Structure 1
Amino acid sequence: MAVRAIASLELYAIIALMTLIMVVTTEDDIPVGEVLMDDRPVILRGYDGILHCRFRGEPLAVYWEKGPDLASATKLVSWHPPTGGIRVQSYGIGKYNLTEDFSLVIHDVEDNDAGRYICIVSDFRGYELSNHTVATVKVPPQEPFPTIDQCPSGSTGSRANSCTLTTDIGDDTTELTCQALGAPRDIVSLSWTLRGRTISHQEPYRYANPDGETEDLKFTIDATPSYDPYVCSAILPATIRGNATASVIVKPAPITTTTEFVVTTNATDPFVGDPGNRSLGKGMV
């Protein structure tokens, strides 16, 4: 179908928050005296993973630990209100960071970062609350991801330009296939959007790889010409990288027209002399 191309990868952040009890949209939805955490989060090897800890009100202290229980857990990072204010600023010490909302960032995730994480909060009433979640480490999809199959190989990598395609003459649409290769099974998903609206709600096709742990994902649509980009997003699990995207602009086929040309020739009368005589003039060879 489409033949001309140059492609791109953009990044923008979106992380879904899930809880064991409910989906929380605002702090006011969190019951007093409870700490809510991600339900079975997946963090990707080699990326910076993020784990959320949510609670009502301003805390007096926040602690993150890792281990089977409070008695034997290893302390990772803690926060106490600074003089003159109680809102934390983002900071990092070594392997672990705290964000402004007290989420834990795990830098450069490795296999041994899997395990049970505990968030301990001294709340605004002075009560000590805690909750835990068990994080799993998975291999990330192969870079670059996602890619658009109709774009040149390698052109959808990081910092590349957006891909531009032109439909073939006589075609109203062109086929676009977004894919992510070597993704952890049942973790990553794909979606197509145009002008911020989802084009199709169908699930991408998933093809299991021989290793039993990863899969290839493909999502194909028929795209009509548009000067707004079609955006394919690879929706990732808990990571500060956010979703990875690749975009493509589909241009209509060039308009062809048929023009008739009338060719005229200026001829010189080969006869010279008296027109009545019409004798041929002399020539030199």
Structure 2
Amino acid sequence: MRIGIAVPQYGSFATPEAIVEVARAAEGLGFDSLWAADRILTPHEPSDPYPGGDGTMPEEYRTFLDPLTVLTLAAGVTGRLRLGTSTLTALWHAPVLLARTLTTLDVLSHGRLDVGIGLGWLRDEYRAVDVPWENRGARLEEWLDVAEAVWADDTVRHDGARWTVPASHIGPKPAQRPRPPLLLGGLSTAGLERIGRRADGWLAVGMPVPCLTAMWNTVRLAAEAAGRDASALRMVLRVNPTVTADEAPPEQVPNRGRVAQITDYLLGTAEAGAGEVLIDLQQTTTTTAELLDLAEAMIKRLRP
């Protein structure tokens, strides 16, 4: 199992010093990857409840650095770690522009980028960037068509319902060919089937293992129906735990619990298909020293 950690990005960790310190330390501790998330605002009166806990968005999200800028800084101070987005809300950006930015990061990091894309859950953010909330799935399908052309084709051409690209040369191309690994988030049947049809893997979230297994089967069946090799797909599982000193009730794991409870859960997800886990410790710590102590404790249990 590969083990990733969220790069410092929000709340008290939104500083260049924290990014550099944690990125370097994570590489030294033996982590495999660094991941950044995407958030542009915290509404005073949210249009939608936060999909976790009691539905209240974490206070730490009031300060949130841009994910690709954060990963670019982390790339400059590491040499081995993979760099991923979990998740990047691609529809907030024109596909040609974001595909170019992602290409740039892949080139500057010498081919270490994993492109993780999701649709988001907060209508307020879509309104803020003047992008329709409706028909997000169809919009993402076309967004992927354009981005994949930018990454892979010598001549890029697209004439679609939402974007038009005249026959053009767009370079450079990514260091990874034909494109960086593409991971998609999603929990709905349509989203899971899209992963099977179009992506290299699924950005999953912590949930009971039987639920993970059922959803992963939906992804694999969709891949097989599309004539793809389902065994080649990846599952990257994200958890944002509150680490406690006392034992938490089993039903609260992995959202809450002792280090041993959370790591045992993560190890158990391998039977559901998880090949990589991603741990975000920014909501349960306030200093880099505390974060790195927890990170070390977790990786020692996950990889003795």
- Fold conserved (TM > 0.5)? no
Larger Rg: 1
Relative contact order higher in (CA < 8 Å, ≥ 6 apart): 1
TM-score normalised by L of structure 2? 0.25
TM-score normalised by L of structure 1? 0.26
Identify the structure with the greater strand proportion. Answer: 1
Identify the structure with the greater helix proportion. Answer: 2
